[in-house]
Amino acid sequence: MGISTQILGLIASLAFLILTHEFGHFFFARLFKTRVDKFYLFFNPWFSVVRMKKFDNRYHFSFFSAKSPEEWAEHPDATEWGIGWLPLGGYCSINGMVDETTKVGDLATEQQPYEFRSKPAWQRFFIILGGVLVNFISAMVFYVAILFTWGESYIPMKNARYGLQFTNVAKEIGFQNGDKIISVDGKPVKTVSDFTFSVLLDSPKEVELLRNDKEMAVEIPKDFAQSLLRAGDKFFCEYNFPFVVDSIEASAPAYRAGMRRGDSLVGVNDTLMFSFMDFQQIFAQNKAQAIKVNFYRDDSLMGLPVTLTDEGKLGVHFKSPYAYLEIKTKEYGFLESIPAGISHGFGKLTDYVKQFKLFKTKEGISQLGGFGTIGSIFPKTWDWEKFWSLTAFLAIALAFMNFLPIPALDGGYILFILIEMITRRKPSDKFIGYANTIGFTLLIFLMLYANGMDVFRFLGK
């Protein structure tokens, strides 16, 4: 399971997002009586896994072919449907439109009424906007369905009985393990996730907290987010909870050393500690090394020598923080889930847009990731709630990214159409072709860089 489940989740999610996005273009194109030459899930350089076209009142198929059968060309008004072999995207090839599949020289000399370029600007606007629109609407539908089906479960900040645990970068500016958060610049926060996003994205001045029953404040430096990125910290805090062994793999170092289910870790090499994150940091610093693990078993304090794995692991599964911290679950009726789901979706969009300011710095750029990074956020065991939640978030991300006014993206076409509407002058097909080539080249370099960073991180492990 594990990685294979993550890969399956990533491909299934991408396939769904691609289909819905391209369907948005297809729907409006057909609504305005524009021909759609091809509709493909995944790219098909050199050959297609399957091609399909309906004519003469039946469907015709072609498998693992480099090109369409010649007789299919006699039915240009019918759309060719297909599945490619390269799961990096898909496309909806609209007749008479200059894009990554059609060059200026491929267009007929005279415009035809069924071509994209012959349609009025407002119709072309909706044909292009369709992909972004359907992705965004589908995300809202997902969030509504998720809240209606599973409700909303979370650990309220006020239920963090042990406070929070922090990374070293957070400790350097004044946080300590066990701190209980009251507010950020006077505004209460609901969960640790809300607290994290608020500190990283809203540029607050200070965090009010409770430490040993005493109220105090920690000032947040302006470059705190950059410092975290520089250190490679994805999160700077988490709910604080004890490290209690829930299960042990039979071949694990901890099992061979004599540790058992229910052991509660309290120290390493006779140095006492409590926070799970502290144990993780100590283990990471002692990869493949022999250490002494101190723990309680049946009220007895014990210590055993354990040789960690090359990855700095004991080979145990720990008890979830949900076992110690009270979870709040809010259930939604159908009518309640609609405004709540839409509000949740807009909140995700707002947080996603805010994150872009982090990419203004070299630390932010260094954190860019490709398909490996996206795949890593999918759970290693199949979970429908998490799958649809991640798919909804990726739908919002895809909609926003495609809306950016960059040539070769939907936003670039929308920009050209808006300029045409304002100036009453349509950019030439040749100009759009050049702009798309430049934009597409930049996007390829960006994709190569992002996926290259994934490879670099993997090799650096």
* pLDDT at res. 106: 65
pLDDT at 88: 81
Which of the four pLDDT bands, split at 50, 70 and 90, describes residue 451? low
Could you give all domains of the chain from N- to C-terminal order, each with its CATH number?
A: 1-31+119-151+343-424 (no CATH), 33-115 (no CATH), 157-237 (2.30.42.10), 243-322 (2.30.42.10)
Each residue of 356-395: b (16+ CB within 10 Å) or e? eebeeeebbeebebbbbebbeebeeeeeeebbbbbbbbbb
Residue 326 predicted with pLDDT over 90: no
**pLDDT at 362 > cutoff 70:** no
State residue 4's pLDDT score. Answer: 83
Q: What is the mean pLDDT of the chain?
A: 87
For residue 184, pLDDT beyond 90 = yes
For residue range 400-430, list pLDDT tens digits in order.
Answer: 989 988 888 899 889 999 999 999 888 887 8
- Give the DSSP per-residue string, 105-143: GGS-SS--TTSGGGS-HHHHHHHHHHHHHHHHHHHHHHH
Over the stretch 57-67, which tens digit does the pLDDT of each residue have? 999 999 999 99
Tokens of 372: 């490996």
Least confident of 86-90, 180-184, 388-392: 86-90
Cβ neighbours of residue 70 under 8 Å, at least 6 residues apart? none
Under the banding of pLDDT at 50, 70 and 90, the label for residue 459 is low
